[in-house]
Amino acid sequence: MGSRFGCVLNDPMTDKSHSSQNSGAATAVAPDKSIEFVLKHAATPEQFCTALAKLFAVRTSEVALMRADNGLLKFVIPEQLKTAGSIPISSSSSVAAHTAASKKTQLFNNFAKVKHARVFETVKITTEGQDQSEQAAIQKIMSVPVLRSDNKVIGVIQVSRKAFDLAAAGPDFTPEDLQQLELAAKVACKMPFLDQKSARK
């Protein structure tokens, strides 16, 4: 399916074997208007990402929100990654950086086989009620840019599925899921928590 951002479902340089297993099990998400309604009422980045986690049936720690700032991507959520460092948008080993630089969405359902920077995956993320699977590797991921009306990238949103192996990671993300996340990015671009000036206050 088409996208105004462009859509990279398979990177021929890195992900030649896009997984098709579980492809029939689409993630249950709310209709577009419901997503817009729910997310517009999420006043904080925590509420916004919690709402996304519920919509895509993932853990809250499997949702990442990054703000673009002076050539870097800085984590807003998860909280534990705020002090772990930032990602240069020029980085060739980061999916988030490629998303920001190319302004294209990306979807990988066999992410463990994709060459990528793993430094942030090693950071321990614990949330009340969540188990050791939080330390598992990212197996599947969607990554979308957050674009202003002038087409400037102001952030990146990623939703992933973590597990110790692909078989345990749950259903594949679908092109429809990716479209839902694009819609979430349109809502996020209007949120004050991605505004650089507000973030520095």
pLDDT digits (tens, 9 = 90+) for 38-79: 898 898 999 999 999 999 999 999 999 999 999 999 999 998
Between 8 and 105, where is the model more confident?
105
User: What pLDDT is attached to residue 33?
Assistant: 59
Between 179 and 4, where is the model more confident?
179
Q: How far is CA 180 from CA 55, 64, 75, in A?
A: 9, 16, 21
Tokens of 200: 């520095």
Closest CA to 160 of 187, 179, 145, 178: 178
Report which residue type is found at 26.
Answer: A
Give residue 34's region: left, alpha or beta (phi > 0; psi -120 to 50): alpha
Report which residue type is found at 166.
Answer: L
- The vertex-86 CA angle with 83 and 89, nearest 5°, equals 170
7-17+30-199 has which fold?
Beta-Lactamase (3.30.450)
94-146: pLDDT as tens digits: 999 999 999 999 999 999 888 655 544 544 555 544 454 446 889 999 999 99
5-19, 22-36, 79-93, 163-177: the lowest-pLDDT one: 5-19
Q: pTM to 2 decimals?
A: 0.77
User: What pLDDT is attached to residue 47?
Assistant: 95
Instruction: Report the alpha-carbon distance of residue 10 to residue 21 in Å, rounded.
Output: 15
Instruction: Report the alpha-carbon distance of residue 23 to residue 140 in Å, rounded.
Output: 12
Q: How confident is the model at residue 196 (pLDDT cuts 50, 70, 90)?
A: low
Mean pLDDT of 26-47: 74
User: What pLDDT is attached to residue 84?
Assistant: 78
